[in-house]
Chains A and B, each alone.
Chain A
Amino acid sequence: MAKKLKIGMVSPYGWDLPGGVQIHIRDLAEFFLAKGHDVSVLTPAIEDELLPSWVQSSGRPLAIPYNGAVARVSFGPVATLRVRKWISEGDFDLLHLHEPAIPSLSLLACWAAEGPMVGTFHATAPRQKAIFAVGPILEPAIEKLSARIAVSEMARETLTEHLETNAIVIPNGINHNFFSEAKANPDWVGSSIGFVGRFDEPRKGLDVLIRAIPEIIESNPDLRIIVAGPGESEDVLKGVDQSIRNRFVFLGRVSDVDKARLLKSVDLYVAPNIGGESFGIILAEAMAAGTAVAASDLPAFRAVLNNGKAGALFVNEDSQDLARVVKNLLLNKELNRELGKSGYEWSKRYDWSNVAHQIENVYEMVSAAGEKVSLGSDLRGWMRSN
């Protein structure tokens, strides 16, 4: 694209504790910066000094109970003020708002701004009763978005169900090279299964895997399970039979580099998650490392594994089926290699070069008229008086 854009991105969640949404924003912003666009990210953050120059803080996030979980978001008069200031001083060609239906900065920005705006919806959630109460507040804001993106079919369905509006699906992105070029760590090579994530969260399904281990060991006496991610390993091991405890290697929270090396080293990556997944970026990353993947047949995983062609699927929450699939892939080296290869090829579509290009097309479309982002007409007077 010849035209360089000035892009304003908004993150609803605190920058200090990076989750899927923040990492997505960071990678996307870095990609567009590298392409010569001008990007400014507005986000709640605790430490102003540690932020990259292109990230601006709206103040500390507040941890509040929201829909049965704790959300670290930003709201209130100070946040509103900062959002308005950022918009009116930014002179943006377009805004890219992430999770604009979450009560935080993106919603504030959506409310305050006029002009080309793109919204990306990440989460999937079951329909909530409270949506009747908040619909009248959210709908007028969501209406203002010139384009809506959902990161997966599941996220799109959530959006349709909650707010009766549609979106195009553009998947999450990964840095494909980072994983395909990672160096294997000899300690983790050979008869090894990988698992990455908050393993003490029941929905990540480590229990399902643990129940399958005795059967897998029968045909793989040297089996090891390498687990990376934050959590209390002792709590998990308490419920595990003494004889297989030493099969587990807990690495704790690991760096991005070590995560890539882990994915590269293991014979097989297993994702036994039992629900609540919107995308499954870790599967795309494992595939990019060239490692064969086996995952539960959640709709999100089914999609990212190309319906079982790019990675093996087993019946969700069924340890026996998991054991069958995993045994097969550990014993049959030829099959394992083939699956790893087709996963590798399939995962290229998730590389940022491809994903960001699709997003760039959306940007181009919404900003084609040359209109700029400004404060809503009801707020312009406000700017002069402040």
Chain B
Amino acid sequence: MPSQRGIQRRRQRKKINSTFELQLTSMMDALVIIVVFLLKSYNVSQNNFSTTPGLELPLSHSPETPSDSIQVVITPASLTVENERVLDFIQTAANPGSTNARYDFKKGDLDDEGRKVVPLYDALIKAREKTELLLSKSKVRINGKPAPFEGVLAVQADRRVRYDTIRKIMYTGSQAGYSIFRFLARKNEV
């Protein structure tokens, strides 16, 4: 028969074990691994380019990373300049997100024998003037003068966009004073 003292000791032991503490060490280990992974894959980029949902960029082996510049994005539905919608393409049932999207401009949007896209031209001129104003107010000076407008236009387009559309955009850009075209693509890691 167990003694009275033995029973008391067992009760005390049970009381001690009833206060349980959460083991945070293993959780800390997992979080440290995640933080290290994220810090390793974190890249500080010099641009504010972001991809648009539904836009399938082509792959490229080019080693050059794009620096910040004025950006035109050709989505299946519309054309945007600096994240502002400039015009809509002619919509067909196949257009949004489809492989048959045509990216055709409305006749009223075209000028100069169908080569210049008027709303895009206006938006690019506006963006250029804004950049030139910022450059003139900037403290950066070259021989006492503000830094010149570089005239770089970044083009982000879906892989299915035809050259016909890109050409009109490039021609319009050239008319608005842009002399360098920067085509964006997804980095091909293979």
**Does A associate with B in a complex?**
no
A residues apposed to B, CB below 8 Å: none
B residues apposed to A, CB below 8 Å: none
